[in-house]
Amino acid sequence: METARRDLVVGFDLDMTLIDTVKGFVATLDALGAELGVALPSVEMSAKLGPPLDLILAPYLDAEAIPAAADRFRALYPNHAVVPTPHLAGAPEALAAIRAEHGRILVVTGKYAPNAQLHLDHLGLDHDHLEGWVWGVGKADVLREHGAALYVGDHVHDVEGAKAAGVVSVSVLTGGCTREELLAAGTDAVLTDLTEFPGWLAEHLLTTRLGWLEADLRDLGRVMVAYSGGADSAFLLAAAVRALGPGNVAAATAYSPSLPLAEREPALDFARSLGVQVLTPTTDELSRAGYVANDGDRCAFCKSELLDVLAPLAREHGYDVVATGTNADDARAGFRPGIQAASDRGAITPLREARLTKAQIREASRRWGLPTWDKPAAACLSSRIAYGVEITPARLARVERAEADLRAALTARGLVVRDLRVRDLDDHARVEVDAALVPLVDETALAVVLAAGFASAEVDPLGFRSGSMNQLLPDPERFR
């Protein structure tokens, strides 16, 4: 599948899907009937909103009178229908769930677009594009044009539009159609209302993206995973084994001073448990001047060294590609010079291409029973050293010693420690721990950090933040 088609774009119908227009529709029909001198059964006419206005008026007016009556209805509508119309339960949360996944939102409706826009503006409903005056299968062209993956509606004709576009149809029971009618029309999912949509979307995306990952991996032949032992690369390794079998997968864990000793054996144990070939080459980042200098692009030199070692190793052992555990969140993080360096050397990123986020990787790992599903983030030791401070084996060892000793000291006091970092600001250490533990890291605990070789130490009052050292860069853009 083209990767562009994997971007999340969701279309929504408007009337009785996002907003409850019955009261306003009835009021506008009553005003129109009064002007025309026709007793329109407004409540009955509003029972199944969605079809074009001309069709709704057709049983009650002469054919030649309908165009003018429809125009007058649209003119009366803003004063009678916009203010009294609320959004339906769960609508803002459904839109927010799409934004949380970095998705785009379309509103594709049979309603006159200017009036539809009034509703969206009045209620503050988030969206990227509105298309009005489209109905049934006519919605398919709009959905295809914008690369929609889903269409959410309340009417059987919304299902027809989704099916014609070849996208997933999600139906809600907030309109006049029954579950049986919607299922008979071919909808893929029926929800009571939009309050159920965020949960449905989360499960749908996880299932879909895991399917993409498996399909992609099956196309790769034999795969060497750049395996650090962290949650992402461990999941990728397990996914590759599921897709290709252990005989077609290798775990390559690079040994260097930047990989904590405590990480090595657990990583090897997990890889061996999968039955894959395990390789532990040595990398020498410290031989690269740019890495040692520790400017903002340090990670680019690290990944260059890693791939310059792993690529020939993969060829030597008969593996077709080297894959890293970069995920979709990493790609959006805004400052990841190592990702580009790895890509320049031919590394592939299956988790990223499958649009899998960190949270989804952890959830899938939990379901698969992987011990790494809740493992704390464990970036390399160099990430603890402030940019501009030269990286040396002694500094790396000092950070590793300080973190291990501090974790042991806090654990001995009965504290549960998840995330802990000792940031090296030259001879000054800044300790980051889980926010709840910040008040508990006292002078006695800091003495352990000083004993590791730092001249002074303090606790960061903000607690642990992944990538906090990037905040000290004066101009990260110059390293892109």
> 400, 263 in Cβ contact below 8 A?
no
Residue range 64-78, pLDDT digits in tens: 999 999 899 999 999
Angstrom CA distances, 174 to 80, 90, 137, 161, 207, stand at 22, 11, 21, 18, 26
Q: How confident is the model at residue 339 (pLDDT cuts 50, 70, 90)?
A: confident
Q: Given a cut of 70, is residue 472 above it in pLDDT?
A: no
Q: Given a cut of 60, is residue 40 above it in pLDDT?
A: yes
- The 3-state secondary structure of 153-166, one letter per residue: ECCHHHHHHHHHHC
When pLDDT is averaged across residues 455-466 and rounded to a whole number, the result is 93
- The 3-state secondary structure of the chain, one letter per residue: CCHHHHCCEEEECCECCCECCHHHHHHHHHHHHHHHCCCCCHHHHCCCCCCCHHHHHCCCCCHHHHHHHHHHHHHHHHHHHCCCCCECCCHHHHHHHHHHCCCEEEEECCCCHHHHHHHHHHHCCCCCEEECCCCHHHHHHHHHHCCCCEEEECCHHHHHHHHHHCCEEEEECCCCCCHHHHHHHCCCEEECCHHHHHHHHHHHHHHHHHHHHHHHHHCCCCEEEECCCCHHHHHHHHHHHHHHCHHHEEEECCECCCCCHHHHHHHHHHHHHCCCEEECCECCHHHCHHHHHCCCCHHHHHHHHHHHHHHHHHHHCCCCEEECCCCHHHHHCCCCHHHHHHHHCCCECHHHHCCCCHHHHHHHHHHHCCCCCCCCCCCCHHHHECCCCCCCHHHHHHHHHHHHHHHHHHHHCCCCCCCEEEEEECCEEEEEECHHHHHHCCHHHHHHHHHCCCCEEEECCCCCCCCHHHHHCCCHHHHC
Q: How confident is the model at residue 334 (pLDDT cuts 50, 70, 90)?
A: low
When pLDDT is averaged across residues 442-456 and rounded to a whole number, the result is 95
Least confident of 162-166, 176-180, 339-343: 339-343
> What percentage of the chain reaches a pLDDT higher than 70?
96
Residue 71 CB partners (closer than 8 Å, separation 6+): none
Q: Given a cut of 60, is residue 431 above it in pLDDT?
A: yes
Residue 162 CB partners (closer than 8 Å, separation 6+): 11, 139, 140, 143, 150, 151, 153, 168, 169, 187
Q: What is the pLDDT of residue 423?
A: 96
Q: What is the pLDDT of residue 220?
A: 95
Residue range 77-106, pLDDT digits in tens: 999 999 999 999 999 999 999 999 999 999
Q: What is the pLDDT of residue 1?
A: 43
Strands 150-153 and 9-12: parallel
Q: Given a cut of 80, is residue 466 above it in pLDDT?
A: no
Measure the CA–CA gap between 308 and 163, rounded to whole angstroms: 48
Measure the CA–CA gap between 211 and 48, rounded to whole angstroms: 37
Q: How confident is the model at residue 379 (pLDDT cuts 50, 70, 90)?
A: confident
The token pair at 250 is 């290798």
Q: How confident is the model at residue 360 (pLDDT cuts 50, 70, 90)?
A: very high
When pLDDT is averaged across residues 329-351 and rounded to a whole number, the result is 83
Q: What residues are paired with 420 via a beta bridge? A: 433
Q: Given a cut of 80, is residue 471 above it in pLDDT?
A: no
More confident residue, 404 or 480: 404
Q: Given a cut of 80, is residue 401 above it in pLDDT?
A: yes
Q: What is the pLDDT of residue 3?
A: 52
* Mean pLDDT estimate for the chain: 93
Q: What is the pLDDT of residue 448?
A: 96
Least confident of 58-67, 255-264, 318-327, 394-403: 255-264
Residue range 251-297, pLDDT digits in tens: 999 999 888 888 899 999 999 999 999 999 999 999 999 999 988 88
When pLDDT is averaged across residues 178-188 and rounded to a whole number, the result is 98
When pLDDT is averaged across residues 372-383 and rounded to a whole number, the result is 88
Residue range 230-258, pLDDT digits in tens: 999 999 999 999 999 999 999 999 999 88
Residue 377 CB partners (closer than 8 Å, separation 6+): 230, 231, 419, 466
Residue-wise over 49-64: b if at least 16 C-beta within 10 A, else e? bbebbeebbeebbeee
Q: Given a cut of 70, is residue 333 above it in pLDDT?
A: no
When pLDDT is averaged across residues 358-384 and rounded to a whole number, the result is 93
When pLDDT is averaged across residues 420-433 and rounded to a whole number, the result is 95
∠ CA 30-31-32 to the nearest 5 degrees?
90
When pLDDT is averaged across residues 2-26 and rounded to a whole number, the result is 90
> What percentage of the chain reaches a pLDDT higher than 90?
83
> 140, 121 in Cβ contact below 8 A?
no
Q: What is the pLDDT of residue 4?
A: 56
Measure the CA–CA gap between 382 and 298, rounded to whole angstroms: 9
Angstrom CA distances, 363 to 205, 207, 331, 367, 407, stand at 12, 11, 19, 6, 26
